Structure 1
Amino acid sequence: MDAHERGYFTEEDSVAVVTGRNANAKDERLREVMEVITRKLHEAVKEIEPTEAEWFEAIQFLTKTGHLCNDWRQEFILLSDVLGVSMLVDAINNRKPSGASESTVLGPFHVADAPVREMGANICLDAKGENMVVHGRILDTDGKPIEGAVIDVWQANDEGFYDVQQKGIQPDFNLRGVFRTGADGSYWFKAVKPKFYPIPDDGTVGKLLGALGRHPYRPAHLHYIIKADGFETLTTHIFDPDDPYINSDAVFGVKQSLLAEFKRTSDPERARELEFAGDFWDVEHDFVLAPAKG
């Protein structure tokens, strides 16, 4: 028996026996990862003590989840999302210095090559929904404005749908736009108030949520990707703190620092300046970029 072989499998020695067989792995990182995964998985099985029927049901769940995956749907990512793993991986890989804006998950509806728009443009192309103006500044951790920051923003409409979900109903690139800050680091654009919406819940993940007594909804939010030379790219959201699902986001994407005040505003003079017909929503939020590492 070679040194890395630990003999016969027993309940007590299961981890040592299985991980010992991996000692000659060609990739050291893979060996380390599989050692942790094996240890944690065996610990879970020993604590839960599933019946063989229960274990087969778990295998069937994973099999059905895989069958749902295709070029436009990734049910395993959805599973990672609702278990909080996606947000945990995001948090580990996006640790920020004090004062920098926090990140959150990208989401599945980002579209590359969204149109560059003039500052102050209205990203709502179909004039549907409650008018909203969004503004703020892009700053560094010393509070200085960042000139030339590129802001890629997108959102769902007032019914909770993105343009890519309603081809032929919404115009292409509706509620999307790319803006670039000037010397004062400020940004602003017009949009409509977004609405909460459900993640896809017609598959295995939706059934799991139902069995756990959980809803599939994400609270209303706007997405941002913000880039600037010399700074780390920030992928984040801002959320409506008054949304009914703000404390129970199905994918755990909400962070307290990302709550923005959505002010219902009655100001006829400003409404005329913004070319709004009446009352509107006013959202102000600054973003602070962390300096690039290395």
Structure 2
Amino acid sequence: MTGRELFTEERSGEVVAASFADTPDPRLKQIMTSLVQHLHAFVKDVELTEEEWGFAIDFLTRTGHMSNEVRQEFILLSDVLGVSMLVETINHRTGGTSTESTVLGPFHMTESPVRELGDDINMDGKGIPCLVSGRVTGPDGEPLAGAVIDVWQTNEDGFYDVQQPDVQPPGNHRGLFTADEEGNYWFRSVVPRYYPIPDDGPVGQLLAATGRHPNRPAHLHFIVAAEGYRPVTTHVFVADSPYLDSDAVFGVKDSLIRDVPEVDDPDRAAEVGLENPFRTLTFDLSLLRADQAPPAAQPADAQPTVVRGAPS
């Protein structure tokens, strides 16, 4: 005997965690120790059966088999469990001083085509025309000239171009823009539409079994970066969209919701190159400086400022 404690039900987490004591990488040691302790505590809490654990292993196996170059089922699983949003939020705390982040999502898997300011990213001619514009600034309101704005969204039918390679032209509803000297950007598109995440795989089965819907509210994706500043990955959500209170991936934050009012002005429509009437969406973004210390975490016992409705 070496003196190492043997496995028991009562001390299982501690015994297995101790096996990582000699891990050379301290961060890996911390992660594995905590993971094992929490996992064992979960199994004991629910008294997991052998059949349930076997089903879980099969579920994860099927999730892996469902993943390919255009479909990442594990990202969807992370999203619907709220882990993606939690990791994103922890790593991009703003303290209310810059644009809040949200999930990347599983469909930023191709480079957006480089476009000029004012270009139309709607290449299939569907949808309600919309002028999207805004300004990129630093924490003190300084304009970030040359900021890079990467945008992508679904088409009118609720699909990204990579989901319909035989239907949509490559790069449809995607664009890589560079802000002008005042930090301004603008482009033409269509009003985003709500849509379901892919629900024909294991994650969809999980949602159905738990009485949850697969829908996301209408939004545009943004990644914004500027030299010397922290990039932000975020969305802008349409204010009157369904599912704002029950986003399947928990991505909605109050600060990211915007009205998309209608403009009925033939002269203005002709000026911006859109059919009349059209909609406008204004989304200003603020970035933290790269050398700014991240805000401290909110105390664990602090109450949230907003409690949204439960998923329906």
Give your verdict on TM over 0.5.
yes
Partner of 2:300: none
TM-score (norm 1): 0.94
From 230, 233, 236, the equivalent of 1:232 is 230
Mapped partners of 1:167, 1:15: distance in 2: 48
1:169 corresponds to 2:174: no
Q: CA deviation at 1:112?
A: 4.3
1:107-186 matches, cutoff 5 A: 107-186=105-184
From 60, 65, 74, the equivalent of 1:67 is 65
Q: Which moved more, 1:280-289 or 1:8-17?
A: 8-17
TM-score (norm 2): 0.88
1:81 corresponds to 2:86: no
Aligned-residue sequence identity (percent) comes to 53
Output one character per residue of 1:131-166: Cα deviation in whole Å (capped at 9) or x when no partner: 000111111111121111111111111111112222
Query: Which residue identity lines up with residue 32 of structure 1 in the other structure?
Result: Q
1:14 corresponds to 2:34: no
Query: Which residue identity lines up with residue 2 of structure 2 in the other structure?
Result: D
1:206 corresponds to 2:214: no
Aligned CA-pair RMSD: 1.6
Partner of 1:253: 251
Count of residue pairs brought into register by the alignment? 292
Partner of 2:301: none
Q: Which moved more, 1:232-241 or 1:271-280?
A: 271-280
Q: Are the equivalent residues in 1 in contact too, given 2:72–2:106 (CA < 8 A)?
A: no
Mapped partners of 2:96, 2:51: distance in 1: 49
Query: Which residue identity lines up with residue 148 of structure 2 in the other structure?
Result: V
1:25-44 matches, cutoff 5 A: 25-44=23-42
Q: CA deviation at 1:96?
A: 2.0
Mapped partners of 1:111, 1:39: distance in 2: 35
Mapped partners of 2:111, 2:36: distance in 1: 42
- Listed as ranges, the gaps of 5+ residues in structure 1 are none
Mapped partners of 1:117, 1:167: distance in 2: 21
Q: Are the equivalent residues in 1 in contact too, given 2:115–2:177 (CA < 8 A)?
A: yes
Partner of 1:2: 2
Distance 1:212 1:136, change over 3 A: same
Q: Which runs of 4+ in 1 moved over 6 A?
A: none
Query: Which residue identity lines up with residue 46 of structure 1 in the other structure?
Result: K
Q: Which moved more, 1:152-161 or 1:63-72?
A: 63-72
Q: Are the equivalent residues in 2 in contact too, given 1:122–1:191 (CA < 8 A)?
A: yes
Query: Which residue identity lines up with residue 2 of structure 1 in the other structure?
Result: T
Distance 1:178 1:67, change over 3 A: closer
1:290 corresponds to 2:295: no
Mapped partners of 1:68, 1:113: distance in 2: 23
Mapped partners of 1:83, 1:248: distance in 2: 13
Q: Which moved more, 1:236-245 or 1:66-75?
A: 66-75
Distance 1:290 1:82, change over 3 A: same
Output one character per residue of 1:26-60: Cα deviation in whole Å (capped at 9) or x when no partner: 33222221111111111111111122222222222
Distance 1:117 1:59, change over 3 A: closer
Distance 1:197 1:147, change over 3 A: same
The 3-state SS of whatever aligns with 1:91 is helix
Query: Which residue identity lines up with residue 149 of structure 1 in the other structure?
Result: A
1:213-228 matches, cutoff 5 A: 213-228=211-226
Distance 1:95 1:188, change over 3 A: same
